[in-house]
Amino acid sequence: MWAKAHSGCRGPMAKKQVTESESGDGGWTLKRLPPMDEKEFLHWQELIEQRTGITVSRERLTHLQTSIGLRMREVGCESYEAYYRQIVGNPGGIAEWAILVDRITVQETRFFRDPDALELVSNFIRTLPQEMLARGTLEAWSVGCSTGEETYSLAIVIREALAQRDTRIFYGVTGTDISKAALNMARKGLYPERKLRTLDKAFIEHYFEYQEREGAYQILVDIRERTCFARVNVLNLGDAPMHGMSIIFCQNLLIYFRKWRRKEILDNLAERLVPGGLMVLGMGEMTGWNNPLLERLPSERCLAFVRRPA
């Protein structure tokens, strides 16, 4: 840990003054930040892993430097050390961390990103045993949902699959993520046209409404009403109220975590499935993991498990 807190951060107001007084001459806000040295990298790497589980490899040093550096400029902070102190040794540090975490996490996602996995969910619902239907509700969880595309894709797949069953079962999909900013976007369900590029026109017309004012497409209210979004850090699953899940979908999240952590998280998720419930992971999410509660589904294209009967 760095030995002593010292300011080095000017705060947004100071930043404005500096910008004005130095404008036009390659002023402070436009100055290149110095490269992050080894000691600084190790401190940030440790903090990020401790708080998110993500291990930042040395190859991602430039990305880390850029993401942190951009935020440092916004808050008027000149050194990585001072900014670190602002986050860990400051009462306002939690709010600042919430903003930074959004910048350092990879949030890449898209609608129907893994068609094979969604097809598996659809088959699961279309062949759902009567005793599961008799529960009257079907709850799905998209863990690490980013800006909501995965959550809405799941909701659409579930809705269409249930429509093929003679049932009045209630369904809902919860999307959770560590990033507040991503969750805010997910809640709105508003997407620019480029986010819909992979979808065909008829599908867009069916499930989206063009919002003139925002110049973006919004997920149909019927689907939005079936979803909810909440901030959950998978390192603190003990605080998460999700239990009795019929489907847990977790993709492209744990790939950034150490193996022992992935195991711990997956073991915890397994306990949140109802007997007969389905867990679908990304193909690269975890190798060689099994849990006595679960049975692996035979598939070459999906990594999926079903919870054994109680």
Interface contacts to ligand SAM, rule CB under 6 A: 52-54, 105-109, 113, 144-146, 150, 177-179, 182, 233-235, 251-253
Give the nearest distance from C-beta 78 to ligand SAM in angstroms: 27
Task: Identify which of residues 19 and 233 has a Cβ nearer to ligand SAM in the complex.
Answer: 233
Distance between CA atoms of residues 126 and 146, nearest Å: 27
Choose between 227 and 251: whose C-beta lies nearer to ligand SAM: 251
Q: Minimal distance in Å, beta carbon 186 to ligand SAM?
A: 9
For ligand SAM, which is the closer residue by CB, 110 or 135? Answer: 110
Sheet order of strands, 303-307 included: 227-231, 170-177, 137-143, 245-250, 273-281, 303-307, 294-296
Q: Based on CB atoms, which residue is closest to ligand SAM, 49 or 295?
A: 49
Give 9 or 234: the residue with its C-beta nearer to ligand SAM: 234
Of 157, 156, 306, 184, nearest to 245 by C-alpha is 306
What burial class does residue 43 get, using C-beta atoms within 10 Å of its C-beta: 0-12 exposed, 13-18 middle, 19+ buried? Answer: middle
Closer by beta carbon to ligand SAM, 144 or else 277: 144
Which distant-in-sequence residues (6+ apart) come within 8 Å of 273 by Cβ? 245, 246, 248, 279, 293, 294, 307
Buried b (16+ CB within 10 A) or exposed e, 188-221: bbbbeeebbeebeeeebeebbeeeeeeebbbbbe
Least distance in Å: CB of 241 to ligand SAM? 15
Instruction: Give the nearest distance from C-beta 6 to ligand SAM in angstroms.
Output: 30
Q: Cα(203)–Cα(259) distance, rounded to whole angstroms?
A: 39
Least CB distance to ligand SAM at residue 115 (A): 12
Shortest distance, position 52 Cβ to ligand SAM, whole Å: 4
- Cβ atoms of 190 and 214 within 8 Å: the answer is yes
